[in-house]
Amino acid sequence: MTFLSGIGTGVAAVVQFAAVVMVAPLIQGVIKTVKARAQRRLGAPIWQPYADLAKYFSKTEVVSEQSSWITTLTPYLVFGCMGAATLFLPLAGAAPLGGAADLIVLLALFALARVFTVLAGLDAGGAFGGMGSSREMMVAVVAEPALLLVVGSVALRAGTTNLSQIASRFATQGLYLLTPSHLLAAFACGLLVITETGRLPVDNPDTHLELTMIHEGMLLEYSGRSLALLLWATSIKQVVVISLFVSLFLPWGIPLTGDFPAVVLGLFLSLGKVLIIAVALGGIEMLVPKFRLFRLPRFLLTAFLAAFLAILSQYIIR
């Protein structure tokens, strides 16, 4: 009997959910610390995101009189979607959802959370919320099809859309995994990681300037516990998206057996890769300035074209 089957699927799901949810603010703190050190600033402590969440949870909510049930429901729905997305990740060798860990369903969770966040930005009738929502949909109209093409490319090669099976099959291929199709898909997914996590040069999560904000514009009407849930969900999505990149394109080290030492080692390796990519994101933000809004389609179309070429090369280069 393997370790995962011994502890049970339910316990494994709870452990992975708790691990990702609790680590997510720390990853956010790591990125901010890397940026501060690169700018030769002391910066906030690496634990500052936890203190911010505790502060928001302790404050009273102020809700606009113009808002409806959408504003009230959205923080809980978005947090639930991101929490469910953590169960799709094969961090310890196999996703807790097993055969149900389908990439198409994972992308649907992302889309559902995005739609309700956009609706919530429009719901209160504020100018900044509407501006942020319109910009978010402008990004999504290219980013989501590009992400689907990336998923299609890796699914064609693996013969399945199940994330656990894809990671397990890719982990056994070694350097033979690095085909032109795989490298193109990895490049496209790398650009989409920056987009989906709202990092520079696409968005700046550390500002509320009218000319630069996208995601933050949709959250301006929130306060208290609702704001805390949305910010926490954003940091969870960041870890999920980075982990998705790791599972698809850096699968080496994922445990292929279910014994306890392999599972623990695989979990630490997966979180280590996430941490390295988080540091890289902080470095990229120091090297690349914020794009003007009307340059974003060109950036996203680059990812779309790379993902499309990845699929074509599956049939051209064999």
Nearest to 282 by CA among 9, 5, 32, 104: 32
Environment class of 210 (CB within 10 Å of its CB; exposed 0-12, middle 13-18, buried 19+) = exposed
pLDDT tens-digit readout, 222-242: 999 999 999 999 999 999 999
Report domain extents, the chain: 3-316
* Alpha-carbon span 78 to 81, nearest angstrom: 5
Residue 6 pLDDT: 45
- pTM, two decimal places: 0.92
Nearest to 139 by CA among 79, 214, 191: 214
Average confidence (pLDDT) over 204-226: 82
Nearest to 252 by CA among 273, 238, 232: 273
CA distances from 85 to 211, 236, 283 (A): 31, 9, 27
Residue 140: pLDDT band with limits 50, 70, 90: very high
Give residue 220's identity as a one-letter amino acid code.
L
* Alpha-carbon span 41 to 283, nearest angstrom: 14
pLDDT tens-digit readout, 73-114: 999 999 999 999 999 988 876 777 777 789 999 999 999 999
Nearest to 166 by CA among 107, 245, 230: 245
Q: Which tokens in the block code for residue 120?
A: 């919530």
